[in-house]
Structure 1
Amino acid sequence: MFDHESELEIGLASGMLVRIDPKGARLTSVVLPSDDGPVELLIGPDPKQKTRDFHGATIGRYANRIAGAQFTLDGEQFQLDANEGGNCLHGGGKGFDQCDWTVVAHWINAATLRLESPDGDQGFPGNLVAEVSFAVSDPETLSITYRACCDRACPVSLTSHGYFNLAGGGSIADHRLKLNAKQVLEVDGEKLPVGGPRDVAGTRFDFREPAPALGPDGAGFDHNFCTGSGGMREVAVLSDPASGRSMTMLSNQPGLQVYTAPSGDSFNAICLEPQAWPDAPNHPEFPSAILRPGVEYVNRIRLQFSS
């Protein structure tokens, strides 16, 4: 399914194997050992798919959507590349997922890649240098760390867009999801936030206890859950009762985009994307996503698998 010729491999002899494509700093494979042989937990793109492929990619400069593909910062208005109707999605038509990242380090169990994004890239201000490090530790833990710095204030929100299926394939209808989130952002028809955070209690968005990952109506999600602030903390647990596998996600980000990927008449994967809140540059009441010179952006993601 994937071209492995240019990919990096990291992992442990007795544990997981991870493959990364420098094109888009993209996870292409996460394999865990099992009693029945290796199991691939990442779902790749449909070969017939005509739309842009975000599977496993690093998303930037700004994950999710910015309304009207514009924002005002320090009194100046910026026009971004509008690649989803009139809005900017995942950094524009040539976001970080479309770029060739430079491999700056590669060890047995870790790799670091770098990208330089020039001033005006997709309309974003300032020169920005981004790095992502992938590391496998313990038999079944994958850590992804994003860092960035800039020479001019700009919105920054990087994330990893991996499509996971803990059964290794088929529908995720039987997967269970638990989220440490008391609030969610409701969205309009363009998937843009409507108003402020809403309590999840009594709604289909309540995952404070494990519940079917597709929701009580099986309709799936493309929503930002508000996961609070602070250091590294558990934000989500995904599990597959049939196989007994689970994935616990830790993050330091204020939001978690939950996206269930459609496949024909069902859903075959789920994305859990730690990030800033969507359209935050146009919502001063949201947690700030503005990176300023002299400050380092850091997004830490840890995936702890259990089989």
Structure 2
Amino acid sequence: MNASITQVATSPEGEAIEEVTLHGPDGTRARVLSWGATLRDLEVPLIDGRLRRVVLGFEDAASYIANPPYLGATCGRVANRIRDGRFTLDGTTYDVGRNEAGRTHLHGGARGFSHRNWRIEMASADAVTLVRRSPDGEEGYPGTLDLRCTYRLEAPATLAITMTATTDAPTPVNLAHHSYFTLDPAGSVRELEVEIAAQHYTPVDADLIPTGDIAPVAGTPFDFTTPQRLDARGTFYDINYALDGATGGAPRFAARAVSARSGLQLEVFTDAPGLQLYDGFHLKPTRHGLGGHRHGPHAGLCFEAQTFPDAVHQPGFPSPWLKPGETYSQATQYRFGGRNLRPSDGER
């Protein structure tokens, strides 16, 4: 089966926004947009033969042009937050804008990678690769950056995402996938039981900017080293975890979310140093979600594999700096399972 590619909208620059439909070997199905290298839809096969949608999305493809919550998008050049919207590199200060409350740089700026059209370089039945060249000076960043993002469906019920970047001048890079996962359609993610393989996290100030500390989770509401319901401690979550284990090798286990209601679970494996847990408490209500579902606060859960937020200001954090001759890379897998998921051929 070949990939299906269709034009679904037009960008503000008049470019065709294309959508690719992927089919995994076990019946998993995904739709990917060229705009923002965005995962628009992901469905996994249930044991009764139905497909279950496990991400939030918009019914109208044109809604992704604005996409204020970054549904399914690829965020960068620097995902997450930069304090005061500026940083200094080799003695030069770069102003990259303050697009969050006029104080903070968020997810690459007013028009980061999540709000640019990418080019489909390759599309097969179960995978698509999108590429983009970010010019020097875009959103205030130095250096021309060449980007590649590949989505691949693997069995059993796995979405594998690989992102790479190279540059012609020193620049910070932090790419993050920003899907909102939902194991219970129309349910609250606050009911999910969550486990995160992290003994430490990065505390933040009132603007959600890390203080620079890498603190133990023990004794705090951020301790998910043993499974806990998200609503167990009365805290909302938008926080970065310093994942256990070495980076740079094969993706290791990072997090798990389990639904007692649906019997589904999601596991995250990544080679990134950090993982942002966001429970969607800022999601605005919408009536035009995929399948007619209405989105609102806590309708989806983000597990954003990443470098630590504001690492440009924190020498004690994993380095965000990319130099010519180097390659930035991240490999992350979202694996679905549980008692109601149809087993793959190898599991029967």
Compute the TM-score of the two structures, normalised by the length of structure 2: 0.83
Of the structure 1 ranges 159-168 and 225-234, higher mean CA displacement relative to structure 2 is found in 225-234
Equivalent residue number for residue 324 of structure 2 = 293
The 2-side partners of 1:51 and 1:279 are apart by 23
Equivalences for 1:235-274 in 2 at 5 Å? 235-262=254-281, 266-274=297-305
Native 8 Å contact 2:122 2:130 kept in 1: yes
Q: Please state whether the residue corresponding to 1:131 is helix, strand or coil.
A: strand
* Amino acid of the structure 2 residue aligned with 1:130: L
Unaligned runs of 5+ in 1: none
Equivalences for 1:154-233 in 2 at 5 Å? 154-217=171-234, 219-228=235-244, 229-230=246-247, 231=249, 232-233=251-252
Change (3 A) 1:10 1:303: same
Equivalent residue number for residue 62 of structure 1 = 78
Compute the TM-score of the two structures, normalised by the length of structure 1: 0.94
Coordinate RMSD, CA, aligned: 2.0
Native 8 Å contact 2:25 2:155 kept in 1: no
- How many angstroms does 1:46 deviate by? 9.6
- How many angstroms does 1:44 deviate by? 2.2
The C-alpha deviation readout for 1:4-60, integer Å capped at 9, x for no partner, is: 833101122632101001000000101011116211011125989987240000001
Of the structure 1 ranges 49-58 and 198-207, higher mean CA displacement relative to structure 2 is found in 49-58
The 2-side partners of 1:133 and 1:223 are apart by 26
The 2-side partners of 1:76 and 1:213 are apart by 42
Q: Please state whether the residue corresponding to 2:31 is helix, strand or coil.
A: strand
The 2-side partners of 1:215 and 1:76 are apart by 46
The 2-side partners of 1:178 and 1:25 are apart by 28
Unaligned runs of 5+ in 2: 1-5, 9-17, 286-295, 342-348
* Amino acid of the structure 2 residue aligned with 1:20: V
- How many angstroms does 1:214 deviate by? 3.8
The 2-side partners of 1:210 and 1:137 are apart by 26
Native 8 Å contact 2:162 2:331 kept in 1: yes
Structure 1 runs of 4+ aligned residues shifted over 6 Å read 46-51
- How many angstroms does 1:65 deviate by? 0.5
The 2-side partners of 1:304 and 1:52 are apart by 26
The 1-side partners of 2:103 and 2:173 are apart by 20
Equivalent residue number for residue 280 of structure 1 = 311
The C-alpha deviation readout for 1:190-247, integer Å capped at 9, x for no partner, is: 1101231111101110000111124521x32000011143222100011112211111
Native 8 Å contact 1:17 1:30 kept in 2: yes
Change (3 A) 1:13 1:277: closer
